[in-house]
Amino acid sequence: MKQPLTLAEILAILGDPQSVTDLKRYFAVAGETAFTGGQFERLGGGGDRPETCNLVTAEDLIAVELLSVRVPPRTALDLLQGALGEAVSAQLGEIPTTVALGHPGALSLIGEGQPADGAWRLLRNADGIGWVVAGKLLARKRPHLVPVYDEVVACAFRTSKDFWRWLHDRLGEQDAILADRLADLRRQAGLPYTISLLRVLDVVVWMRHRDEHTGYRCRGVRLPTSGC
């Protein structure tokens, strides 16, 4: 059974010069061709802006489509003006926008039965959504707490269940060195602070593994090799 990446292995990926190049390419820094997902957090001022932070809006649904997934029309209507949207909104109202994964207060939000978990389960169980889309919607609403997570990223990290808690623990290791490295990487790539540290990590890992990912039997991300 494959073991999840260690903190040292994650830091090795972040330290590879390719990571800065990939970030610049994804977010269209210095004239590069942008990926549509580069506007995921920023579209319409962000999903966590005060006036709509506890509501799923049409802009949120469009933002999710920028990550190549889609909420079916009937479920979208239920989120925008139905009981599902009301239920998700109630859970979002219990989740501050300022708490970041890796900080002590995050555990009381992401654990089983806690508000972020409750919102994710409501979305995951809705018709035509599933775990990937549910996570991306929540990442739009709480970008500092919930990471974007799909099959490619899961394969790269070699993780499965309890990813939020696993990443929370990695962010807390060694005096939060991972968060510091992500902030430095964001600066090196010339990205604004509106791009969360979780998004920086997601993009670096996804860009590195997306072309080589082979599906169910994939062996995971290729780690940088050290020079002699």
pLDDT, tens digit (0-9, with 9 covering 90-100), for 166-199: 999 999 999 999 999 999 999 999 999 999 999 9
What pLDDT is recorded for position 225? 78
Describe the chain by its helix, strand, coil percentages, rounded to 5. Answer: 55, 0, 40
What pLDDT is recorded for position 1? 59
Residue 222 pLDDT level (bands cut at 50, 70, 90): confident
More confident residue, 82 or 216: 82
Residues 6+ apart with CB under 8 A from 95: 109, 115, 116, 119, 142, 145
Residue written as tokens 């993009």?
Answer: 203
Residue range 1-20: average pLDDT? 93
Percentage above 70 pLDDT, the chain: 96
Residue range 70-97: average pLDDT? 98
What pLDDT is recorded for position 57? 98
Residue range 125-153: average pLDDT? 97
Residue 227 scores a pLDDT above 50: no
Inter-residue contact 34 to 27 (CB < 8 Å): yes
What pLDDT is recorded for position 195? 96
Residue range 208-216: average pLDDT? 88
- 24-33 confidence digits (pLDDT tens): 999 988 665 6
What pLDDT is recorded for position 32? 57
Neighbours of 204 (CB within 10 A): 24
Instruction: Determine the 3-state secondary structure of 180 from DSSP.
Output: helix
Neighbours of 189 (CB within 10 A): 22
Residue 68 scores a pLDDT above 60: yes
Paired tokens of 36: 């549509």
What pLDDT is recorded for position 33? 60
- 29-57 confidence digits (pLDDT tens): 866 567 999 999 999 999 999 999 999 99
What pLDDT is recorded for position 160? 81
Paired tokens of 109: 């939000």
Indicate the range of 88-92, 140-144, 178-182, 221-225 predicted with least confidence: 221-225
What pLDDT is recorded for position 217? 80
Which residue from 26, 24, 46, 48 is spatially nearest to 37, judged by alpha carbons?
A: 26
Residues 6+ apart with CB under 8 A from 171: 101, 102, 178, 179
